[in-house]
Structure 1
Amino acid sequence: MKRILIIEDEQDIVDIATLILEDEGYEVCSMTDFEGYESKVEKSHADLILLDLNLGAYQGKDICKYIKGQDDLKQTVVVLMSANKDIEMVKIEAGADAFISKPFDLEYFIQVIRSQIA
């Protein structure tokens, strides 16, 4: 079973995404506290990370760069989520694999996840 880690500061989005992904057959864990995110990401053993861009004091872009810069994590798929109009450019700058614009369409959300960890 593929494991997905959701890194998001809005609990409602975590709850909705978790329901959708578990219904699709994925194992889901989440992180809403980002202090010490480095070890939490490593311990999650996620196949895919859904990563919000704006996390209060933390930036998803920086977390993505960290993940993609680690030898033992760089193969992990990172999908950015944001309402930021420049998300496609941020995806490129951060080295993410894909992005989902918020608010997201349910079918598109599932399609992106499936295509990234088929």
Structure 2
Amino acid sequence: MLPVLKYDGVVIANNIEFARTMAKQALGLMFRQSIPPDYSMIFILKKPSGVNVHMLFVFFPIDVIFLNNEKKVMGFSGLKPWVGYKAMEDIKYVLEMKAGTIEKFSLSIGGQMEFDENWK
């Protein structure tokens, strides 16, 4: 079974790509022309830390969601191409999704995300 991303028990993405390595995380969504509405790139950090997100060479707006070690939503933002953003400390996972996802699924601080990070 392919991995899915759920928010408070509701599937919000079923096209998941994991970014586990530094190289994959540095590349992120750069140079792509778009992403599907049911897509999420999930960055898995080695340990909770401060996070900086850049939009260099990302040619479309995205929603970014920051999760703690328990996969609870700690913050989120809609980002435009070529703009940077610094999140808060103690972030373990960063989700990059289609712009409008935050509003579409009424994401809120403290909401619970679910996904199987061990899926290959």
**Shorter-chain TM-score range:** 0.3 to 0.5
Higher share in helix? 1
The structure with higher relative contact order (CA 8 Å, sep 6+) is 2
Higher share in strand? 2
Q: TM-score, normalised by structure 1?
A: 0.37
